A and B are shown apart, each in its own frame.
Chain A
Amino acid sequence: MAISLMSGKVTVSATVNGEPTEWLCEPRETLLEVLRDRLGLTGTKEGCSNGNCGACSVLLDGRLVNSCLVLAVETEGAEITTVEGIRGEKGLTPVQRSFLEEAALQCGFCTPGFIVAATALLQANPSPTEEQIRWWLAGNLCRCTGYDKIVRAVQKAAAEMRGEA
C-alpha cells in the first residue's frame, strides 16, 4: 500500500467483482464511499451509515459485511463482491430471478443488499429453513415488503438451485 504523503491519500489494490482494481483514497473513506463515489459502483446503497440497515452489504473475502463500517484502506488485497458482480451465466442468477418473479421488491432500494445477503446464504446453506433464512437476512432492513415475499423468493431460488424447481 503506497502512501502519498502530499495529499494524505493512499493507493489501495483489491479485486472488485473479479477484476483487479486500484484506487486512491483517504484513510477516512469507507469501502462504501469508495465503491460508490470513486469506482462508480452505485448499486450498493447507503441507508444509515452505521451498520443498522444492511443496505450497504457486500461480500468481503466471501464474508457478508456492511461496507459502511469497513475502511477502504483495510481492503488491500481483498476480494470484494458487490451486487454488480452477482451475475448468472445467462444474465440473472436464480436469486435475482426469483426476486422478480415473486415480487420480492417494491421500491428496490434494499434489494441489492438482500441479493448479496441471500447469495451468501445459499452459498453457505443450500437448504435453509424459513427460520434460517430470516436469521441470515436479519441484518437487512426492508420497509416496503414486510419480508414475506423476500423469504419466499429465497426459498424458491434455493429449490431451483438444488434442482427441485
Chain B
Amino acid sequence: MTTEKQYRVIGTRPVRPDGVDKVTGRAVYGADVTLPRMIHGKILRSPHAHARIRGIDTREAERYPGVLAVVTAEDLPDVDVVLAVGEGGDVNMRDASHNIMASGKVLYQGHAVAAVAAVSPHVALEALKRIKVDYEPLPPVLDVRKAMAADAPLLHEDLFTDTMGQRSEHPSNIASHLIAEEGDIEQGFREASVVVEREFVTHTVHQGYIEPHAAVAEWRDDGQLTIWCSTQGAFSVREQVAQILKHPISQVKVVPTEIGGGFGGKISVYLEPVAALLSRKAGRPVKMVMDRAEVLAATGPTPGTYMKVKVGADAQGNITAAHAYLAFEAGAYPGSPIGAGCTTVFAPYRLKNVRIDGFDVLVNKPKSNAYRAPGATQAEFAAEVVMDEICEKLGMDPLEFRRKNGAKEGDWRPFGPPYTRIGAIECVEAAQASEHWKTPLVKEAGSSRRRGRGVASGYWMNWGGTSSCTGRLNPDGTVALLEGSTDIGGTRASIAMQFAEAFGIAYERVRPQVVDTDTVGYNDVTGGSRVTFGTGYAAYALAKQMQREIAAKLAAIWEVDPESVTVEGDRYSAGDKSVNLVEAANLISEQGQQVVTSVTTTPHNRSGAFATHIVDVEVDVETGKVEILRYTAVQDVGKAIHPSYVEGQMQGGVAQGIGWALNEEYIYDENGSLRNASLLDYRMPTALDIPMIETILVEVFNPDHPYGVRGVGEVPIVPPPAAISNAIYDAVGVRMTTLPISPARLCAEIMAKNSARA
C-alpha cells in the first residue's frame, strides 16, 4: 500500500533554504570560523600502535617562540560516567577522555598524546616536534581473531567479557558477547535440503567525509565556554565536553556550523575538549582543524570483521535455519556496532530457527565509530552472499527467494520487539517489476570481459529520538523556525516542508534556521536516519501547537469560546469572523502580544527501512577490474517529503557501498602503522568510477509519523557490497567473501579457479 493522500507541499522539490550560501561559498563550516585574537592548535600523535607512556617532556615546546599553551592528559580530570552518544550507544566518558588524549598507554598509531596552541598552524606543528615522549612499545594486536585468542596481548588489563550480563573470569580483549536465539537451529539445519556455510573478512573502512574535523573553542575568563564545530549533534558535544572536562553544562554553549559530511563519524568529540583546554590555558580562542592523515588514522572508522554465516533451506526454498557468528573490531575501546550487526544480519527474512553470536573485540586500531547503518553493511554482506549461494543451489530466482521468505509485520527480530508495518516484500516486488530486472543481460562482452547481475537486500532501524523546535510568527505571516538538527543533507528543507504542510502556509514563507544549544531545546544528533522523521515530527507538533495558540489568542480578541475557532489551511474562523494568517498576526501584535511557541517531542519509531538493490557488473578477467554498468536501488521510504533529497541519500549511500565493495580498506603493517593514511591510497570512488544510479522509491506509510515518514539515509549503503559480490559470481563464477574486492584479490581468485579447473 502506498500513501495515497494528496499533499500541497510534501512530495514537491523546492530549493533548499541554505542552498544559495552553499553554491556561492558563503556557508560557514567549522574551519571557516574566525574570532579576534584566535590562535591555532595541533595535536602530537603516537607513532606506536601499542605502548606505555613513561613520560612526556613538554618544556621545550612550551618555550618555543609563538607557543601559548601545551596540554596533555594531565590537564584532564578523571571521569567515570556513562553517556548515550548518538547511535554508538552507551560510552564511558573515561574511554572518550582517554581516546582524545592518551593516559598511561597509547592504544593505536595516531592516538593523541599532547597538544599545542600557537600563533599559526605552522608554528604549532614545529612546536610539536619539540615535545619528547618516552614510549615503551608493546606488542600490538591487529587482527580480530588473534585478539580473541586466550594468549593475546591485552589492551586493557581491567576489561572483562560481558556475555549477556555474565562477566568472564579473566580479562580479555573481547568486551562483550551478544547472543540472540529463537527456535532450534540444529533441528532447522536437519530439516534443510541445502546448507551453505561461508567465512567472511572485511577490512576497516572510513566514512570519508570530505571535510576534516574542525572546532573553535573560546574559554572566557568568567568560565563561559563556547565551541563552534562541525558536528552532527551540538547537544551531544555539549554533554560530552561538559563530562570530559567536568565543567557545568550550563556554562557550555555549542554552536553547530555547517558540516561537510558526517555519516556517523562526527558525533563523538575529538578536538573540542582539547581546544577548550588550550583556550583556557592560553586565554585566547583556539581553532583546531585535522589534516586528512589525522582524520584517517585517529577518528572513528567502522570495524573490520571476521564473520561466519550458515543458512539452511528446504527444497521449496523456505529458510529453515540461520546462524551468524560476527566478530567486530571495536578498536582501542569497547563499543563497536556489534549489537546493530546482530539486529540487522538476517533482518529481511522471516526466521523460525536462528542464532546470532556477536563479539565486540578490542584491537590496536582507532576506536571505531558509527558509519551509516553501522554494522549492517558488514553483517548483511555476509548474509546476503550466503543467501545468493542458497538460491544458486536451489535453482531459485534470488528475488523470488526474498519475496517468499520476506519479513512481515509481526515477525520476530533479535534484541527488539517484532516488526511493525514494514516494506520488505514491497521492495522486492518493486525490484522484480523494475525495468532493470526485466532487461536481460548479455553475459559475454569480448574475449576477456564477462557480465553478471546480482541482488541483495538490506535493512536499517529507524530511531525517533528527541527533537525540539521553536516557531515565531512574524508580523507578515512568515514563520521563523528554529531547530537544532544540523543540516547534512537538506533537512532544513524537509523540516520546513513538513511545517508548512501542517501549518497551512507556503514553503517559502518558512524560514528555518539551525541554532545553538542556548537557543533551542534539546535535540538528539543528526544521525540514525532520524531527522526527517523526528525533527519533522516536532515541526508538525509545533505547527499544530501554534495553530492552537493563534486560535486561543483570536478567541480572546473576538471574545468567543476558543473551541469555536476553526483552522482551514491558513484561515482562522469563528462564526462570521474569518482572518488569514497575516491578518491574524497583525491582530495579535496590535494587542502587544506575540506567538512564540516551543515543543519537544520524542516519538516512538518502531519502524525500519528495507532496501533491495540490483547491480550489473562487467569483470575484466585479465585485470580483475570491475565496472559497474547499471545500478538500481529500491527502497521503502515511507513518504518522500522532498523526493530529490531522498534520491540523493540513496545514491550517496550506494556510492559509498560501491567504494566499500571495490576499493576502500585500511592497510596496517605488522607494527600497526596505517600505511595508507591519505586519499591517494585510501581510495574513494570518483565520477569516473560510478554510473548514474537509478532509484525506485516505494512508499509504505509508517504509522508512527503523521506523514508516514521513514528514515531513509542509512540503509542504501547496506546492499551494495553483497549485490556486487553476487553479480561478480554471476559473471565469472567466483564468490568473493573478502572486502574490498580489489583487482588483485579478484585476479587471484579467478586464476585459482582456472587452475583448479585445468
Chain A residues with CB under 8 Å of chain B are 26, 28, 36, 40-50, 52-53, 55, 82-84, 86-87, 91-92, 96, 99-103, 105-112, 115, 130, 133-135, 137-151
Residues of chain A within 8 A of B23, CB atoms compared: 83, 92, 96, 99-100, 105, 108, 111-112, 115
Could you show 5 A-B contacts with beta carbons less than 8 Å apart? A26-B122, A41-B25, A45-B29, A48-B292, A100-B16
Interface string of B645-661 (1 = CB under 8 A from A): 10111011011100000
Please determine whether B212 and A46 come into contact, CB atoms closer than 8 angstroms.
yes
CB of A105, distance to nearest CB on chain B (Å)? 6
Please determine whether B693 and A148 come into contact, CB atoms closer than 8 angstroms.
yes
Residues of chain B within 8 A of A140, CB atoms compared: 687
Partner of A106, one of B32, B291, B652: B652
Indicate if B441 sits at the interface (CB-CB under 8 A): no
CA distance A144 to B260 in the complex (A): 9
Task: Kindly report which residue of chain B lies nearest to residue A86, judged by CB atoms.
Answer: B24
Please determine whether B15 and A144 come into contact, CB atoms closer than 8 angstroms.
no
Please determine whether A134 and B688 come into contact, CB atoms closer than 8 angstroms.
yes
Q: At the interface with chain A, which of B47-55, B203-211, B582-590, B721-729? A: B203-211
Please determine whether B652 and A42 come into contact, CB atoms closer than 8 angstroms.
no
CB of B250, distance to nearest CB on chain A (Å)? 31
Residues of chain B within 8 A of A49, CB atoms compared: 291-292
Please determine whether B687 and A105 come into contact, CB atoms closer than 8 angstroms.
no
Q: Which of A40, A42, A107, A133 counts the most chain B CB atoms within 10 A? A: A107
Please determine whether A107 and B24 come into contact, CB atoms closer than 8 angstroms.
no
Given contacts A46-B31, A100-B16, A144-B489, contact A108 B652 (CB under 8 A): no
CA distance A146 to B654 in the complex (A): 7
Please determine whether A47 and B211 come into contact, CB atoms closer than 8 angstroms.
yes
Task: Kindly report which residue of chain B lies nearest to residue A26, judged by CB atoms.
Answer: B122
Please determine whether A109 and B679 come into contact, CB atoms closer than 8 angstroms.
no
Interface string of B640-678 (1 = CB under 8 A from A): 001011011101101110000000000000000000001
Indicate if B739 sits at the interface (CB-CB under 8 A): no
CB of A66, distance to nearest CB on chain B (Å)? 12
CB of A149, distance to nearest CB on chain B (Å)? 6
CB of B601, distance to nearest CB on chain A (Å)? 25
CB of B101, distance to nearest CB on chain A (Å)? 24
CA distance A49 to B325 in the complex (A): 41
Given contacts A28-B122, A45-B211, A109-B29, contact A103 B690 (CB under 8 A): no
Residues of chain B within 8 A of A145, CB atoms compared: 648, 651-652, 655
CB of A106, distance to nearest CB on chain B (Å)? 4
Chain B residues with CB under 8 Å of chain A are 13, 15-16, 18-20, 22-29, 31-32, 34, 122, 207-212, 258-263, 289, 291-292, 488-490, 642, 644-645, 647-649, 651-652, 654-656, 678-680, 684, 686-688, 690, 692-693
Task: Kindly report which residue of chain A lies nearest to residue B19, judged by CB atoms.
Answer: A100
Please determine whether A106 and B24 come into contact, CB atoms closer than 8 angstroms.
no
Grouping DSSP codes into helix (H, G, I), strand (E, B) and loop, the B interface class, with mixed when no group exceeds half, is loop
Please determine whether A83 and B490 come into contact, CB atoms closer than 8 angstroms.
no
Given contacts A140-B687, A145-B655, A147-B687, contact A103 B648 (CB under 8 A): yes
Grouping DSSP codes into helix (H, G, I), strand (E, B) and loop, the A interface class, with mixed when no group exceeds half, is loop
Task: Kindly report which residue of chain A lies nearest to residue B32, judged by CB atoms.
Answer: A42
Please determine whether A107 and B209 come into contact, CB atoms closer than 8 angstroms.
yes
Residues of chain A within 8 A of B27, CB atoms compared: 108
Residues of chain B within 8 A of A102, CB atoms compared: 644
CA distance A46 to B22 in the complex (A): 15
Please determine whether B24 and A45 come into contact, CB atoms closer than 8 angstroms.
no
CA distance A86 to B26 in the complex (A): 12
Partner of A47, one of B20, B210, B648, B692: B210
Given contacts A47-B211, A107-B488, contact A146 B680 (CB under 8 A): no
CB of B631, distance to nearest CB on chain A (Å)? 9
Please determine whether A92 and B24 come into contact, CB atoms closer than 8 angstroms.
yes
Partner of A103, one of B260, B645, B654, B688: B645
Task: Kindly report which residue of chain B lies nearest to residue A112, judged by CB atoms.
Answer: B25
Given contacts A53-B210, A109-B260, A146-B651, contact A100 B687 (CB under 8 A): no
Task: Kindly report which residue of chain B lies nearest to residue A113, judged by CB atoms.
Answer: B210
Please determine whether A43 and B26 come into contact, CB atoms closer than 8 angstroms.
yes
| Top 8 closest pairs, chain A to chain B, by CB | A43-B25, A109-B260, A146-B655, A108-B22, A103-B644, A52-B679, A146-B651, A83-B25
CA distance A146 to B688 in the complex (A): 11
Residues of chain A within 8 A of B656, CB atoms compared: 143
CA distance A148 to B632 in the complex (A): 12
Partner of A42, one of B28, B259, B693: B28
Given contacts A103-B645, A148-B693, contact A55 B655 (CB under 8 A): no
Q: Which of A96, A111, A144 counts the most chain B CB atoms within 10 A? A: A144
CB of A158, distance to nearest CB on chain B (Å)? 15
CA distance A114 to B135 in the complex (A): 45
CA distance A91 to B20 in the complex (A): 10
CB of B514, distance to nearest CB on chain A (Å)? 13
CA distance A142 to B655 in the complex (A): 10
CA distance A36 to B32 in the complex (A): 8
CA distance A52 to B686 in the complex (A): 11
Please determine whether A148 and B25 come into contact, CB atoms closer than 8 angstroms.
no
CA distance A108 to B230 in the complex (A): 13
Given contacts A106-B489, A108-B260, contact A42 B15 (CB under 8 A): no
Partner of A84, one of B19, B25, B490: B25
CB of B19, distance to nearest CB on chain A (Å)? 4
CB of B33, distance to nearest CB on chain A (Å)? 9
Residues of chain A within 8 A of B687, CB atoms compared: 133-134, 137-138, 140, 142, 147, 150-151
CA distance A91 to B24 in the complex (A): 10
Residues of chain B within 8 A of A106, CB atoms compared: 488-490, 645, 648-649, 652
Please determine whether A135 and B688 come into contact, CB atoms closer than 8 angstroms.
yes
CA distance A42 to B31 in the complex (A): 8
CA distance A46 to B654 in the complex (A): 25
Residues of chain A within 8 A of B488, CB atoms compared: 106-107, 144
Residues of chain B within 8 A of A40, CB atoms compared: 34
CA distance A163 to B746 in the complex (A): 47
CB of A27, distance to nearest CB on chain B (Å)? 11
Partner of B692, one of A28, A139, A148: A148
Task: Kindly report which residue of chain A lies nearest to residue B487, judged by CB atoms.
Answer: A107
CA distance A130 to B644 in the complex (A): 20
Partner of A109, one of B18, B210, B292, B678: B210
Given contacts A53-B210, A151-B692, contact A96 B260 (CB under 8 A): no
Given contacts A143-B684, A144-B489, A149-B644, contact A47 B25 (CB under 8 A): no
Given contacts A143-B652, A144-B648, A144-B652, contact A111 B684 (CB under 8 A): no
CA distance A36 to B122 in the complex (A): 15
CA distance A141 to B29 in the complex (A): 18
Given contacts A102-B644, A105-B19, A108-B258, contact A148 B688 (CB under 8 A): no
CB of A144, distance to nearest CB on chain B (Å)? 5
Task: Kindly report which residue of chain B lies nearest to residue A47, judged by CB atoms.
Answer: B210
Partner of B22, one of A52, A53, A111, A148: A111
Q: Which of A48, A96, A108 counts the most chain B CB atoms within 10 A? A: A108
Residues of chain B within 8 A of A142, CB atoms compared: 210, 687
Residues of chain A within 8 A of B28, CB atoms compared: 42
Residues of chain A within 8 A of B19, CB atoms compared: 99-100, 105
CB of A101, distance to nearest CB on chain B (Å)? 6
CA distance A28 to B126 in the complex (A): 13
Please determine whether B210 and A143 come into contact, CB atoms closer than 8 angstroms.
yes
Q: Which of B259, B647, B679 counts the most chain A CB atoms within 10 A? A: B679
Please determine whether A83 and B32 come into contact, CB atoms closer than 8 angstroms.
no
CA distance A142 to B693 in the complex (A): 15
Residues of chain A within 8 A of B684, CB atoms compared: 141, 143
Residues of chain B within 8 A of A143, CB atoms compared: 207-210, 261, 263, 652, 655-656, 684
Residues of chain A within 8 A of B15, CB atoms compared: 100-101
Residues of chain B within 8 A of A26, CB atoms compared: 122
CA distance A46 to B209 in the complex (A): 12
Q: Which of B24, B32, B656 counts the most chain A CB atoms within 10 A? A: B24
Residues of chain A within 8 A of B490, CB atoms compared: 103, 106
